[in-house]
């Protein structure tokens, strides 16, 4: 094992332990604390008449699984976007991808009520593509180039516009309560059945990302360098965008909009392990999943005994990080 690979290999080796610890922590603590013996019995000797067993199996376990999946999906999406665009501010929430997904979901709930869960996931992915297309389309019209800060501003404006239109339409058609789930990211209301449906879509997105990991590493050095080394940059970018659409669309369909995970985690991962996307992508997935699950645990105690939306917790961490990046790297054009 090469010395440069020691840290990422270590992270991936201890990943099962980190995930198990996070799952246990998430199941044990909440508005109602549950002892370890009850958790064991619920998992291996489930009693449908026991209230605590039902809380564990139908609420807390699906909740932590959803948090792990969504955190991983968004972190990998953010890493791909930053590597592909060489933009240190790129992330699904800032580039309008999550807002586009929520916007199309709102349209589907208005004009196609009763849509199946699979249909909702597909609509979410279409919305992700729409949001990204609008942001990068507007960005391409700028005459003086597309700096990271400019792209972030465009993404924020477009995202806010899509969210405002969604809210207005939801209010007009009287479905505000129904769509609030996708705009407030309520992990406590996640549907266990939709987790099973979204996993295959997420796996496709992850496999696409891993397939182009080495190419993203080269592309992150610059498009000219990538072309000179024989890379098919258009194909790599197309596959990266497709992966982001799958992962972000799946994440939004599963729990709603969650901000800043795709911004924070890729930077932390690169700081720890370097710039090789062969390691960045899987490690970002692990760190992102654990990060969001721990944020979910924290959200239960911020305003105890009431729960704080997970998006509020990630924003409290993400906004200062975002401002720090602009302050320290605002003049740089590339990640």
The string of pLDDT tens digits covering residues 273-319 is 999 999 999 999 999 999 999 999 999 888 877 888 898 999 999 99
Q: For residues 2 and 253, what is the distance between their CA atoms, to the nearest angstrom?
A: 40
Which pLDDT belongs to residue 175? 86
- Looking at the predicted structure, is the pLDDT value of residue 221 above 90? no
Question: Where along the chain do its domains lie?
Answer: 3-329
The pTM score is: 0.93
Q: Is 79 helix (H, G, I), strand (E, B) or coil?
A: helix
Mean pLDDT of the chain, nearest integer: 89
Which pLDDT belongs to residue 2? 44
Q: For residues 204 and 322, what is the distance between their CA atoms, to the nearest angstrom?
A: 29
Residue of 213 and 326 predicted with greater confidence: 213
Which pLDDT belongs to residue 303? 82
pLDDT digits (tens, 9 = 90+) for 150-174: 888 889 899 999 999 999 999 999 8
Please say whether the beta carbons of 252 and 186 come within 8 A: no
- Looking at the predicted structure, is the pLDDT value of residue 46 above 60? yes
* Rounded average pLDDT over 84-110: 91
Q: For residues 299 and 131, what is the distance between their CA atoms, to the nearest angstrom?
A: 28
Q: For residues 249 and 208, what is the distance between their CA atoms, to the nearest angstrom?
A: 15
Which superfamily does 3-329 belong to? ABC transporter involved in vitamin B12 uptake, BtuC (1.10.3470.10)
305 upstream amide cis, omega within 30 of 0: yes
Which pLDDT belongs to residue 212? 96
Q: Is 172 helix (H, G, I), strand (E, B) or coil?
A: helix
Which pLDDT belongs to residue 3? 46
């Amino acid at each position: 094992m090469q010395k440069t690979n020691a840290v990422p290999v270590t992270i991936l080796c201890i990943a099962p332990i980190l995930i198990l610890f996070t799952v246990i922590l998430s199941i044990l603590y909440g508005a109602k604390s549950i002892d370890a013996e009850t958790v064991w019995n619920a998992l291996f000797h489930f009693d449908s008449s026991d209230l605590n067993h039902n809380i564990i199996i139908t609420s807390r376990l699906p909740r932590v699984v959803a948090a792990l999946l969504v955190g991983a999906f968004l972190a990998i999406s953010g890493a791909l976007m930053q590597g592909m665009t060489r933009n240190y501010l790129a992330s699904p929430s800032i580039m309008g991808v999550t807002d586009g997904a929520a916007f199309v979901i709102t349209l589907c709930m208005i004009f196609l009520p009763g849509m199946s869960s699979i249909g909702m996931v597909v609509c979410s992915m279409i919305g992700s593509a729409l949001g990204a297309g609008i942001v990068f389309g507007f960005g391409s019209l700028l005459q003086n180039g597309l700096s990271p800060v400019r792209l972030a501003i465009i993404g924020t404006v477009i995202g806010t516009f899509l969210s405002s239109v969604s809210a207005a339409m939801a209010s007009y058609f009287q479905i505000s309560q129904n769509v609030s789930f996708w705009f407030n990211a309520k992990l406590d209301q996640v549907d266990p059945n939709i987790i099973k449906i979204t996993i295959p879509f997420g796996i496709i997105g992850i496999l696409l990302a891993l397939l182009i990991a080495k190419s993203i590493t080269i592309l992150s050095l610059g498009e000219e360098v990538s072309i000179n080394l024989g890379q098919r940059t258009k194909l790599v970018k197309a596959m990266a965008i497709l992966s982001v659409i799958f992962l972000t669309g799946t994440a939004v369909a599963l729990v709603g909009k969650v901000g800043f995970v795709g911004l924070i985690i890729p930077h932390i991962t690169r700081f720890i392990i370097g710039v090789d996307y062969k390691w960045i992508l899987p490690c970002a997935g692990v760190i992102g999943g654990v990060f969001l699950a721990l944020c979910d645990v924290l959200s239960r105690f911020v305003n105890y005994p009431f729960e704080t939306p997970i998006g509020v917790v990630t924003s409290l961490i993400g906004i200062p990080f975002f401002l720090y990046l602009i302050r320290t790297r605002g003049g740089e054009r590339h990640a």
